Amino acid sequence: MKAVAVTPGLQVEDPRSFQDTERTVPIPGDRDLLVKIEAISVNPIDTKVRRRSPKTPSGSDVIGWDAAGTVVAIGKGVSHFTLGDHVYYAGSIQRPGANAEYHLVDERIAARMPQSLSFAEAAALPLTALTAWETLFHNFQLPLGLDSLDRTVLVGASAGGVGSMALQLARVLTNAQLIGTASRQESSAWAKSMGAHHVVDHRSSLIDQVHEVAPDGVTDIISSQATDLHFSEYAELLAPRGKITILDSPTSVNILELKGKSVSLHWENVFTRPVHQTSDMKVQGRILEDVARLVDSGLVRTTLRQEIAGINAANLRTAHEVLESGTQIGKLVLTGF
C-alpha cells in the first residue's frame, strides 16, 4: 500500500521531512478495524511529533491522526462495526498513523461518520471534537442546558480546530457565555460563526477586554496555544474555583498564581484513554457517535476550511507548513491516494 513516511527531527522546509513510500497492509488484531483511508486531517500534534527527534511515540515513521474511511476488514472480537461502514476517528498516538492507504484502529475509539458529510468533511472533526468534548464535559463538567447559565468560558485561539469545535458544542449543548480570542478580522468572524458570543483580540491585553463582557471574570478557560504568554492574564481572569485546560506544553507557568482562588489546572490529552487502554476507553467512540448525531441533525457543522486532493509527501509538507504558520482557521484536510 501507499504510505507517507516522515523523518522525525527535520524542519518542514527540508524535502526529506516527508517521503512517499510503500508498506505492507497491516493485519487487524483483536477489536481492530482495518480502514481504507479516504481523507485525513492534520493537527498540531502531527507537527510536534514530526519535529520531535529521534523517534515517534509509536516507533513508526508513518504518523497522522484524524481519519475518515471505509471498514474493509475486522479483527476478532469486533462487535460494533461491519464491512463497508464509513467511520471516523482520531486513533492512538502509540500506533502507526493514518497517513497510509490502509490503517488499523481499535473499534472502541471509532464511530460511524455523519451520514450528511463527505469523507473530507468528516475527517476534519474527530480529534478536535474529542478534545473539545473531553475539555468541556469531562474537565470543566459544564452542565447541559440552563444549568450552565452561570458559566463563562474563554476559548483561546478560538478560530483554530479545537476552538471551533468547543464553541459549537458549548453553544449547542449549554447556556454558558462564550468568549473567543482571535487576532484577525477573518478569524474573529469565523469564531462568531462557530458560536462565540464575543471575540476579544489576543494581541492586546485580555484583562480589560474580557472584563467588559464578563465583569466577574470567567469560570473556565481553554488554552490551546501560547499558554506561557497568557497564563498570568488567565489566572487574573479566572473566577474562584475556576478551571483551566491546557492543550500545548507551556514551560514557564507559575502554578502558584492559581492557588489563592483554588483554580484547578487540567490537561486534555486526547490519547490518554487509548494509550493507557483505560476501562472507559469506549467513551471516545460514544462521543464521536454523539457528534455525528449533532452534525446530521444540523446543530453542528464540519470545520473543514481547506481541502487538498492527494495524500502524498508533497501535500503533507504543505499542510504542515500551513499548520506551523499558526494562522489556520478551521481545519485542513487531504483526500485520496
DSSP string, 189-247: HHHHHHT-SEEEETTS-HHHHHHHH-TT-EEEEEE-S-HHHHHHHHHHHEEEEEEEEE-
Give min distance, CB of 273 to a copy of itself, in A: 7
Q: Which C-beta is closer to a copy of itself: that of 245 or that of 312? A: 245
Residues in contact with a copy of itself, counted by CB under 8 A, come to a total of: 30
Residue 120 or 235: the one with the smaller Cβ distance to a copy of itself is 235
Q: What's the CA gap between 4 and 23, in Å, rounded?
A: 9
The reply to whether omega before 54 is within 30° of 0 (cis) is: yes
Q: Which of 184, 203, 241, 293 binds a copy of itself (CB under 8 A)?
A: 241
Which is closer to a copy of itself, CB of 185 or CB of 262? 262
* Segment 273 to 302, residues that bind a copy of itself, using CB under 8 A: 273, 275-276, 278
CA 253 to chain centre: 23
- E strands within the chain? 2-6, 18-22, 32-41, 67-74, 86-89, 102-106, 110-112, 152-155, 177-182, 198-201, 218-223, 238-246, 264-267, 304-309, 331-335
**Residue 205 burial (CB count, 10 A):** 12
Look-up of cell digits 449549554: 174
Q: Please, are residues 35 and 104 in contact by the beta-carbon 8 Å criterion?
A: yes
- Tell me: does residue 325 bind a copy of itself (CB under 8 A): no
Closest approach of a copy of itself to the CB of residue 81, in Å: 25
Compute the least distance from the CB of residue 94 to a copy of itself, in Å: 11
Q: What's the CA angle centered on 249, arms 198 and 284, to 5 degrees?
A: 75
The stretch among 15-23, 79-87, 243-251, 295-303 that binds a copy of itself (CB under 8 A) is: 243-251
Residue nearer to a copy of itself on the CB measure, 189 or 226:
226
Tell me if 138 contacts a copy of itself by CB under 8 A.
yes
The yes or no reply on residue 139 touching a copy of itself (CB under 8 A) is yes
Q: Which one, 82 or 141, has the nearer CB to a copy of itself?
A: 141
Single residue of 11, 14, 27, 267 touching a copy of itself by CB under 8 A: 267
The backbone region for 172, taken as left when phi is positive above 0, alpha when psi lies in -120 to 50, beta otherwise, is alpha
- Closest separation in Å from C-beta 272 to a copy of itself: 4
Chosen residue from 255, 297, 321, 326 binding a copy of itself by CB under 8 A: 255
Residue the block writes with cell 476534519: 124
Pairing of strands 177-182, 198-201: parallel
Instruction: Between 112 and 138, name the residue whose CB sits nearer to a copy of itself.
Output: 138
Residue 130 makes contact with a copy of itself by CB under 8 A: no
The answer to whether residue 170 forms part of the interface with a copy of itself (CB under 8 A) is: no
Burial, 211: exposed, middle or buried (Cβ in 10 Å; 0-12, 13-18, 19+)?
A: middle
Nearest-approach distance from CB 97 to a copy of itself, in angstroms: 18
* Residue from 51, 197, 211, 261 in contact with a copy of itself (CB under 8 A): 261
Q: Which residues bind a copy of itself (CB under 8 A)?
A: 134, 138-139, 141, 240-241, 246, 249-251, 253, 255-256, 258-269, 272-273, 275-276, 278
